[in-house]
Amino acid sequence: MFSILNNSELVKKFKKSDLIIKGGLFLLFFLILVAIFAPILAPYDPNSTSLLARLRPPLGFEKFKVGFLLGTDELGRDMLSRLIYGLRFTLFIALVGSLISMTIGTLIGVISGYVGGIIDNIFMMLVDIQIAFPGTLMALLLISVFGSSITILIFVVGISGWENYARVVRGQVIQIKNEPYVSAAQVAGAKPRRIILLHMLPNIASPIIVLYTFGISNVILLESSLSFLGLGIQPPTATLGSMTGLGRDFLSSYPHICVLPAIVILLIALVFLLLGDWLRDSLDVRLQRK
C-alpha cells in the first residue's frame, strides 16, 4: 500500500509541478516540523500568564519595547508560543481523527463491496443515515451529551466523514472484483482476507490517500469551528479555533489576538487542500461525485 508513496513518477511530477504546489508542499513540511518541535521552538510557556505584559501588539507595532515577536493576548500569554502549540494540537487531532474515519470507512467499504447482498444493503443504509446527519450537527450533539475533552473531540471528528471513504472504496472494490488477478487469486485458493489486503487494497490505495488528504483539511476546519464556538477543548489549552473564537472579543482594538490564529488555520487547511488536489491529479484519481 505504501509503495505508492515512494513512487518515482510522483517525484518526477513534483519536479514539474507549479510554483504554487511546490511552495504549498514546502509550507506544509515546515508547519509539520514546527508542530513536532513545538517544545523546542516556543519561546515561552503557552499557558503562563503575565499581568504586566497584557495585550502587547506584535513586534514593530509598538515603539521601544521588545520581547514578544507576535505580541501577547489578554492574559499576557505569548502569542507565538500559543500559535505553535495550537498548531501542534490541531494537527494532532486532524491526523488522528482522519486516520479513524479512514479506517472505519475503508473497512466498511471493502466488506460492503466484497460481500455484497444484505450486508451491503445495511452498510449503505448507514451511509445514507450519516449523509443525512451533517458532521457539525452530529458533533454538536455528541459534545453536548459527552462533554468536551480531547478524546471526545478526536472521536467526534473521527466518525464524521467515514461515509466518503466507504462509498468510494465500495465502488472501487466492486469495479475490480471481477478483474483477472482477483479471480486468479480466488481460484488459487486465497482466503478473502488475503485477497483484500494483498490484492485489492494496493490497487485502490490512490483514491484512499487522496480522500485522506482532503479529509485532514475537513477535520481541521470542523475542529477549529467547534473550538471557535466554544465546544472544543476548553481553555487554557491553546487550539487555533479557540484562540480565534476567544480573540473575537478583542477584534476592534487588538485584532492580532484573533487574526493571527485565523491566518494559521487558513494556511494549514489550504496546504492540505493543495496537496489533495495535486495528489488527485498526479495519481490520476477520479472520485465519484455525490
Task: Decide: is 94 part of the binding site for another protein (CB under 8 A).
Answer: no
Instruction: Give me the least distance between CB of 240 and another protein, in Å please.
Output: 10
Task: Specify the residue, 44 or 254, whose C-beta has the smaller distance to another protein.
Answer: 254
First to last CA, the chain: 26
Instruction: Give me the least distance between CB of 182 and another protein, in Å please.
Output: 23
Task: Specify the residue, 115 or 131, whose C-beta has the smaller distance to another protein.
Answer: 131
**What grid cell was written down for 179?**
478483474
DSSP 233: S
**Which residue do the cell numbers 488555520 mark?**
265
Instruction: Give me the least distance between CB of 132 and another protein, in Å please.
Output: 4
Q: What Rg, from alpha-carbon coordinates, does the chain have?
A: 22
Rounded distance, CA 75 to CA 47, Å?
9
Single out the residue of 242, 262, 257, 39 nearest to residue 150, CA to CA. 242
Residue window 246-275: x/- pattern of binding to another protein, with contact defined by CB under 8 A: --x--xx--x--xx--x--xx--xx--x--
> Cβ(227)–Cβ(240) under 8 Å?
yes
Single out the residue of 103, 100, 106, 240 nearest to residue 157, CA to CA. 100
Restricting to residues 107-136, which ones interact with another protein according to CB under 8 A? Answer: 125-126, 128-129, 131-136
**How many residues touch another protein (CB under 8 A)?**
40
Instruction: Give me the least distance between CB of 127 and another protein, in Å please.
Output: 10
| Contact residues for another protein, defined by CB under 8 A | 125-126, 128-129, 131-138, 140-146, 221, 224-225, 228-231, 244, 248, 251-252, 255, 258-259, 262, 265-266, 269-270, 273, 290
